[in-house]
């Protein structure tokens, strides 16, 4: 994970690796400079987030290991959160209207269109996995960074923007946050909102997931509006 303070706000990111940690570690290391450079070039908004992820994607394009990439620019001055997602590290935002939304998730269950596109590009479906039929290597994700041998995966992030208000928050996490107690997207959103509204910090969200039966690593970054 990474948190970068910039003039007028900050950037949050979670990179959750698979088949090794090298791609996630490289992305986390490069993220601060990539984000600051993109913000200086493009200003706040979609282009900045897309450019940041693009830098990380290119830097890890030849790596065997893969990773999710969930990046959020919280523009406190402009009152917006711009979210870019590749993979299944969830981003949950309470917006200015009080609606709690989950950004797009790119696993084969949540993204059937992406799974079908991967099959059209040469993947084979084996249960929840998209597999290279020549090697048997695969993942249950439809979009990632790294994963160089899996050329059928999507590489373009979904980018969404939310207006922020005085009660807003942003949670960026690894998919270990989803547990038997929050086993669907709707259940995850409800549980996170209940906990954060009650005052939970990032550590409390991690401990809740672990005590609720998470069988994966759990990473959480949380931002709250100061108002």
Which tokens in the block code for residue 12?
A: 């949050």
CB-based contacts of 29, cutoff 8 Å, min separation 6: none
The strands making up 158-163's β-sheet, listed across from edge to edge, are 2-6, 9-14, 69-75, 80-86, 158-163
Looking at residue 75, what is its pLDDT?
97
Residue 221 CB-density burial (10 A; 0-12 exposed, 13-18 middle, 19+ buried)? buried
- pLDDT of 202: 97
**Angle between the 185-197 and 202-211 helix axes, to the nearest 10 degrees?**
130
Length of the chain (residues)? 227
Which neighbouring-strand residues pair with 81?
Answer: 74, 162
Q: Give me the pLDDT at residue 226, please.
A: 83
Cα–Cα distance for residue pair 148/59, rounded to 1 Å: 11
pLDDT recorded at residue 105: 96
Give the chain as a 3 state SS string: CEEEEECCEEEEEECCEECCCHHHHHHHHHHHHHHHHHHHHHCCCHHHHHHHHHHHHHHCCCCCCEECEEEEEEECCCCEEEEEEECCCCEEEECCCCCEEECCCCECCCCHHHHHHHHHCCCEEECCEEECCCCCCEECECECEECCCCCCCECCCEEEEEECCCCCEEEEECHHHCCHHHCCHHHHHHHHHHHHHCCCCHHHHHHHHHHCCCCCCCCEEEEECCC
Rounded Cα gap, residues 124 and 113, in angstroms: 14
Q: What is the pTM of this model?
A: 0.95
**How does pLDDT run along the chain (227 residues), one tens digit per residue?**
899 999 999 999 999 999 999 999 999 999 999 999 999 999 999 999 999 999 999 999 999 999 999 999 999 999 999 999 999 999 999 999 999 999 999 999 999 999 999 999 999 999 999 999 999 999 999 999 999 999 999 999 999 999 999 999 999 999 999 888 777 899 999 999 999 999 999 999 999 999 999 888 999 999 999 86
pLDDT at 227: 64
Give the whole-angstrom CA distance, residue 190 versus residue 168: 15
Q: All domains of the chain, ordered by start, with CATH? A: 2-103+157-224 (3.60.40.10)
């Amino acid at each position: 994970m990474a948190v970068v303070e910039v003039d007028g706000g900050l950037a949050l990111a979670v990179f959750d690796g698979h088949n090794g940690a090298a791609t996630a570690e490289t992305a986390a290391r490069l993220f601060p400079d990539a984000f600051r450079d993109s913000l200086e070039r493009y200003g706040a908004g979609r282009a900045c987030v897309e450019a940041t992820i693009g830098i990380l994607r290119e830097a890890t394009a030849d790596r065997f290991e893969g990773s999710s990439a969930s990046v959020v620019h919280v523009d406190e001055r402009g009152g917006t959160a711009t979210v870019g997602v590749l993979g299944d590290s969830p981003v949950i935002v309470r917006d200015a209207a009080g609606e709690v939304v989950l950004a797009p998730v790119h696993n084969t269950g949540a993204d059937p269109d992406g799974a079908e596109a991967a099959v059209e590009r040469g993947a084979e479906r084996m249960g929840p996995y998209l597999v290279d039929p020549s090697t048997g290597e695969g993942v249950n994700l439809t979009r990632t960074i790294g994963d160089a041998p899996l050329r059928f995966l999507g590489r373009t992030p979904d980018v969404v923007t939310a207006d922020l208000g005085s009660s807003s928050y942003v949670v960026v996490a690894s998919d270990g946050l989803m547990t038997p107690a929050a086993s669907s997207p709707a259940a995850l959103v409800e549980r996170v909102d209940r906990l954060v509204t009650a005052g939970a910090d990032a550590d409390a969200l991690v401990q809740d997931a672990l005590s609720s039966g998470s069988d994966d690593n759990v990473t959480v970054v949380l931002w709250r509006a100061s108002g």
